[in-house]
Amino acid sequence: MKLSTPLLLSALASGASAQGGPYSQCGGTGWTGATTCQSGWTCIYSNPYYSQCLPSTSSSSTSSKASSSSQSGSSSSSTSSSTSSTKTSSASSTATPSSTPTVGPSRLTGKLPALGWNGWNAYGCAISADKVLAAANSFVSLGLQDAGYQYVNIDDCWAEQARDSTTNSIVPDPTKFPNGISGLAAQVHALGLKIGIYGDAGTATCSGFPGSLGYENVDAASFASWGIDYLKYDNCNVPSNWTDSGNPPGGDWYNSNSAIRYRQMTAALVAQSQPIQYNLCIWGNANVWQWGARVGHSWRMSGDSSATWSYITSIINTNVQYLDAVNFFAHNDMDMMEIGNGALTLAEQRTHFAAWAFLKSPILLGTDLSQLNSTQISIITNSELLAFHQDPNIGTPANPFTSSTSSGTTTPPEFYAGASSKGIHVFVINTAGSTATKTMKFVDVPGLNATSSQSFKVHDMWSSSDLGTFTTSYGVSVGAHDTVAVLVTPV
Binding mask 355-394 for ligand GAL (x = CB under 6 A): ----------------------------------------
- Interaction between residue 23 and ligand GAL (CB under 6 A): yes
# residues near ligand GAL by CB under 6 A? 11
Residues paired with residue 441 on neighbouring β-strands, in sequence order: 473
**Could you say which residues in the range 145-174 bind ligand GAL, by CB under 6 A?**
155-156
Binds ligand GAL by CB under 6 A, chosen from 132, 152, 280, 281: 281
Radius of gyration for the alpha carbons in the chain, expressed in angstroms and rounded: 22
Kindly identify the residues of this chain, within the stretch 306-345, that bind ligand GAL according to CB under 6 A: none
Q: Residue from 304, 368, 391, 444 that binds ligand GAL (CB under 6 A)?
A: 304
Q: 378-383 long-range contacts, Cβ below 8 Å, gap at least 24?
A: 379/339, 379/349, 379/350, 379/353, 380/144, 380/147, 380/337, 380/339, 380/353, 381/142, 381/143, 381/144, 381/147, 382/353, 382/461, 382/462, 383/147, 383/464
- The reply on whether position 120 binds ligand GAL by CB under 6 A is yes
* Selected binder of ligand GAL within 206, 330, 380, 488 (CB under 6 A): 206
**Contacts for 64 with CB less than 8 Å, ≥ 6 apart:** 46, 47, 75, 76, 77, 78, 235, 238, 243, 285
Q: Quick check: is 234 catalytic?
A: yes
d(CA 154, CA 135): 11
- Of 173, 229, 304, 335, the catalytic one is 304
Q: Which helix (H) or strand (E) holds 281?
A: none
Kindly state whether residue 234 participates in binding ligand GAL, applying the rule CB under 6 A.
Answer: yes
Closest separation in Å from C-beta 211 to ligand GAL: 11
- Tell me the closest approach of the beta carbon of residue 411 to ligand GAL, in angstroms: 24
Binding segment (CB under 6 A) for ligand GAL, from list 205-213, 223-231, 392-400, 442-450: 205-213
Q: Is 45 helix (H, G, I), strand (E, B) or coil?
A: strand
Select from 201-209, 349-357, 442-450, 470-478 the region that touches ligand GAL (CB under 6 A).
Answer: 201-209
Residue 207 makes contact with ligand GAL by CB under 6 A:
yes
Contacts of 165 (CB under 8 A, 6+ apart): none
Cα 237 to the center of its chain, rounded Å: 20
- Is 407 strand, coil or helix? coil
Q: Is 304 a catalytic residue?
A: yes
Q: What is the dihedral of CA 155, 161, 167, 170, to 10 degrees?
A: 0
**Binding positions for ligand GAL, rule: CB under 6 A:** 23, 120, 155-156, 205-207, 234, 236, 281, 304
Q: Which residues are marked as active site?
A: 234, 304
